[in-house]
Amino acid sequence: MHYNFYPGPSKIYPQVGGYFQEAMALGILERNHRSEAFQELFSTTKSLLKSKLNIPLDYEIVVVSSATECWEIITQSFIQHESYHFFNGAFGEKWWNYTQKIHPEAKKVSCRLDENPSLQMVDKNAELLAFTHNETSNGAVIAESFQKLVRSQFPNSLIAYDATSSMAGYEFDWDSGDIWYASVQKCFGLPAGMALMIVGPKAIRRAKEVDERDHYNSFNFILKNALNNQTHHTPNIANIFLLNRLMQNVENISAIHKNLKKRKEQLYRGLSKLEKLSPLIQFDKFQSDTVFCLKGEKEVILKLKEEAEKEGFILGNGYGEWKETTIRIANFPAISNQDYIDLINFLLRFDKMN
């Protein structure tokens, strides 16, 4: 018996095996990506995503290879001079790093775990503000009230969210961002090798003004293909198919998010009884609903990992500066409610035993 709580790559929805077989039987994986069969698949997948994730109709969806690629696409195609990167963990910092290689003026604004990022030094007409919606390395989230504040304070700037470990789990206020992206091997519960970029009208206009066309993955070229239900290179057709079938079968995002919040409450209630483990992030408002990070003494964490492995629980290792003093637990929709109950009971047993 395996329980997979790793925050990426993560638990894959069990029904995906059947979808794979269906794709083989249909022959769709062998079809050209300019064929009508593919265009039909891509088009219905986008409609299903919009309907299940409540994405506004005037946002466009494109598929690319990874979240890492999105860092570069955004830098190339939406930024000419300077962007502002807000972060308190490893993924946000990496985004800033990649941006800086192309635009050395990219600014960083680091913040602590239990606070909103500071907007004080940000130019009113900044080109782009970059946030990691859900910092997978430490379980910090950007509060929705803050997202709305940023939108209202920066009506002239583009706002971009890395939502790799929250998209398909969180019900977003999409209008508070112009660019959202996620690779699918985390919260979506699919195999690795594809990412989605969801782009609003303001960002689309801005990309046209910037008019960057030097790369195979220049955004305007990607979008032009997507508007014709094609892709700029042969895509991961298998993953598009799996996504299509998954979106047909999952509940609306609002129900999914509600269930994840309920599990979060259960877990933190269980945690409050533990002596040796506590949340890395104190305030509910900054604690992610989809990735939990628990801290403890080095020896406790080591022992916990050993015991977890013995009992068949795959937990996430700590990351970066929290490597040895934390564990991470994914709260992704592909994980069943029963697995959660079993995990909480395991943690309670561990705490008593050791």
Residues across the chain: 354
Q: Which stretch binds ligand PLP (CB under 6 A): 62-70, 277-285, 294-302, 324-332?
A: 62-70
Hey, is 121 helix, strand or coil?
A: coil
Query: Cβ of residue 231: shortest distance to ligand PLP, in angstroms?
Result: 17
Residues 6+ apart with CB under 8 A from 205: none
Work out which of 75, 76, 99, 136 binds ligand PLP, going by CB under 6 A: 136
Which of 270/318 has CB closer to ligand PLP? 318
Rounded Cα distance, 7 and 28, in Å: 30
Query: Cβ of residue 341: shortest distance to ligand PLP, in angstroms?
Result: 26
Work out which of 48, 53, 61, 67 binds ligand PLP, going by CB under 6 A: 67
* Residue among 77, 57, 36 nearest 221 (CA): 77
Q: Which stretch binds ligand PLP (CB under 6 A): 11-19, 66-74, 110-118, 297-305?
A: 66-74
Strand partners, 313: 3
User: Strand order of the sheet with strand 195-199?
Assistant: 60-64, 195-199, 179-183, 158-162, 128-132, 83-87, 107-110
Query: Cβ of residue 70: shortest distance to ligand PLP, in angstroms?
Result: 8
Rounded Cα distance, 285 and 16, in Å: 33
Which of 130/204 has CB closer to ligand PLP? 130
Q: Are 95 and 78 in contact (CB under 8 A)?
A: no
Work out which of 3, 8, 53, 257 binds ligand PLP, going by CB under 6 A: 8
Residue 218, CB half-sphere, CA atoms under 13 Å: how many? Answer: 12
What is the Rg, in whole angstroms, of the alpha carbon atoms belonging to the chain?
20
Residue 183 binds ligand PLP, judged by CB under 6 A:
yes
Rounded Cα distance, 244 and 47, in Å: 9
Work out which of 66, 110, 217, 317 binds ligand PLP, going by CB under 6 A: 66
The site for ligand PLP, by CB under 6 A, has a size of 13
Rounded Cα distance, 10 and 192, in Å: 9
Residues 330-349 that bind ligand PLP (CB under 6 A): none
How do beta strands 128-132 and 158-162 pair? parallel
Residue 164 binds ligand PLP, judged by CB under 6 A:
yes
Residue 325 binds ligand PLP, judged by CB under 6 A:
no
Residue 239 binds ligand PLP, judged by CB under 6 A:
no
Q: Which stretch binds ligand PLP (CB under 6 A): 75-83, 161-169, 257-265, 313-321?
A: 161-169
* Residue among 112, 111, 144 nearest 288 (CA): 144
Rounded Cα distance, 18 and 309, in Å: 28
Residue 217 binds ligand PLP, judged by CB under 6 A:
no
Residues 82-111 that bind ligand PLP (CB under 6 A): 91
Positions in the binding site for ligand PLP (CB under 6 A):
8, 66-68, 91, 132, 136, 162, 164-165, 183, 186, 195
